[in-house]
Amino acid sequence: MFGQMTTAAQGFQGYNRRDVPSADGELTRTGPGTPCGEYLRRYWQPFIMADRLKDLPVAVRVMGEDLVVFRDRSGEIGLLNRHCSHRGASLEYGVIMEHGLSCCYHGWHYAVDGTILATPGDPPTSRVKDRVVHGAYPVREYRGIVFAYMGPPDTAPAFPLYDTYDAPNADLVPFYLTIPCNWLQAYENTQDPVHVLFLHARSTGVQFAQSNTIAQLVDYRRTPLGMMNMQTRRLGQLAWARTVETILPNANQTGAIWEEAREEKAFQRVAITRWVVPVDDTNTAIIGWRYFAAALDPEGKGDRSQVGFGSIDFIGQGEPRPYEETQRNPGDYEAQVSQRPIAVHGLENLAASDRGVAMLRQLIRQGIRTLTKDGLVEHPAPPMGSAIPTYTQDTVLPLPVDPNDDAGALKRFGARIAESLIADRNSTPVERAERIRKAAFGETRSHDGRPGAVAPVARL
């Protein structure tokens, strides 16, 4: 007999599987000085909704650092180390001034850049304010969210503006959620499209669109910003190709939540842009915008009044629910938090369906190691005078069923669209939509699928 016989796995192995190895510190530890923490700090990170900045300072924690944020009376925003450089009192109890913030304890007065404007308890000859600089980070307010750059001050990149931010006919509504687990297990969920079929459709009932019950063919591609997954589904005589993208190191965009793919469209854009930002190693903030537009939600299922600080308008993202309800109808929150405060990769048994998760971990690890070795990180460069192109979209086009190999036809359909997304990335949205349609079939098509005129372009 050649080879070795495979012994069937034996049950009741609890006693032999009690040990829990350490977590993957390279990917999960994000405090100051950690490899991953230093990597994340080389990018602009959102950390608070702008409408929370009123007449009092706000204590925040970002990547294990205790900070305080405020808007002074002149309108400038400051992000300072939380503890006063004098005797350590917390600046969350400080007094907001016309310019900067004054400590409640002895009145030390800080500008938004951390320089000291006054030490009123000292004599006029004191030089303390000339030699002490308090810790501070630069910030940028954009569309209702405040971002910080927490890396070395001489390495701050330009603030990145992506093409989806100015989506026509869409309102961008900011939100801020928290989840009590490590950032990575929340982030890698974005490159796990297989979970949509089970967690959100088959396991306990349909949570979003009915179309999520349809099995999809999945492929993964590198992009200039990170990676994307291409999900291709069959709906009668239509084929639906959805891309969901990762923008390294910790941003994500995804398409319409309630997309049923009943009508032809090309290059419909995003419903969510978000960042997964470590609060510390066992708590995470998910911050971004929900996009509201008629094209994304023709049946009006979204509810912008539910989108904001601590809430969003779809299930399973951490909204308070009774425990039994979460057991009967778990969402992303339950699936991610229940992996432990920090998921232990050494206990996993990755399968073919985890290809995207493995690829994402590898890309993050490469970024960390490149920074550690060469002191470099990659930042996207926009085309001249344009926003940075992105890759999330939904395309629904007619595709006759192939009785001999329909899976192969769907796979080729999705692959051609994925290739067009990357190759034509610097084109206008209208051009990208037209080129996607041409790439899908090798020719233009009319609205009913016949060769001829170009079908209407989806505006989002």
Domain-terminating residue out of 121, 155, 189: 155
Residue 6 domain-assigned? Answer: no
Shared-domain flag, residues 397 and 348: yes
pLDDT at 302: 94
Residue 166 lies in a domain: no
Tell me 201's DSSP state. I
Q: Please check whether residues 151 and 176 belong to one and the same domain.
A: no
**418 part of a folded domain:** yes
Which of 155, 186, 209 terminates a domain? The answer is 155
Let me know whether 253 and 347 are in one domain: yes
Coil vs helix vs strand at 429: helix
Do 192 and 62 lie in one domain? The reply is: no
Q: What is the pLDDT of residue 454?
A: 36
Contact 429, 439 (CB under 8 A): no
Q: Which residues pair with 61 in a beta bridge?
A: 66
Q: Using DSSP, state whether 47 is helix, strand or coil.
A: strand
Residue 205: the pLDDT is: 64
Domain holding 392: CATH number? 3.90.380
For residues 131 and 187, state if they share a domain. no
Same domain, 210 and 93: no
Q: What are phi and psi of 166, to 5 degrees?
A: -110, 35
**Residue 449 placed within a domain:** no
Question: Do 294 and 417 lie in a common domain?
Answer: yes
Is 76 a domain residue? yes
Q: Write the burial class of residue 269 (CB in 10 Å: 0-12 exposed, 13-18 middle, 19+ buried).
A: buried
Residues 122 and 211 occupy one common structural domain: no
Contact yes or no for 201/212 (Cβ under 8 A): yes
CATH number for position 73: 2.102.10.10
Residues 58 and 95 in one domain: yes
Q: Name the domain count of the chain.
A: 2
User: CA 144 to CA 280: how far, in whole Å?
Assistant: 23
- Asked whether residue 459 is domain-assigned, the answer is no
Q: Are residues 95 and 181 in the same domain?
A: no
Specify the pLDDT at position 417.
Answer: 96
CA 259, CA 242: separation in Å to the nearest integer? 10
Enter the DSSP assignment of 11. Answer: S
Q: Are residues 97 and 224 in the same domain?
A: no
Which residue segment(s) compose the domain that 315 sits in?
172-379+388-441
As a whole number of angstroms, the distance between CA 27 and CA 181 comes to 14
How does DSSP classify residue 188?
G
What local confidence, expressed as pLDDT, does residue 452 receive? 37
- Phi and psi, residue 315, nearest 5°: -75, 155
**Residue numbers in the chain where pLDDT is lower than 70:** 1-7, 195, 197-203, 205-212, 442-460
Helix (H) or strand (E) holding 123: none
Residues 246 and 341 in one domain: yes
Report residue 132: phi and psi, to 5°.
Answer: -110, 130
What are the two backbone dihedrals, phi and then psi, of residue 21, each rounded to the nearest 5 degrees? -70, 170
Residue-wise pLDDT for 120-173, tens only, equals 999 989 999 999 999 999 999 999 999 999 999 999 999 999 999 999 899 999
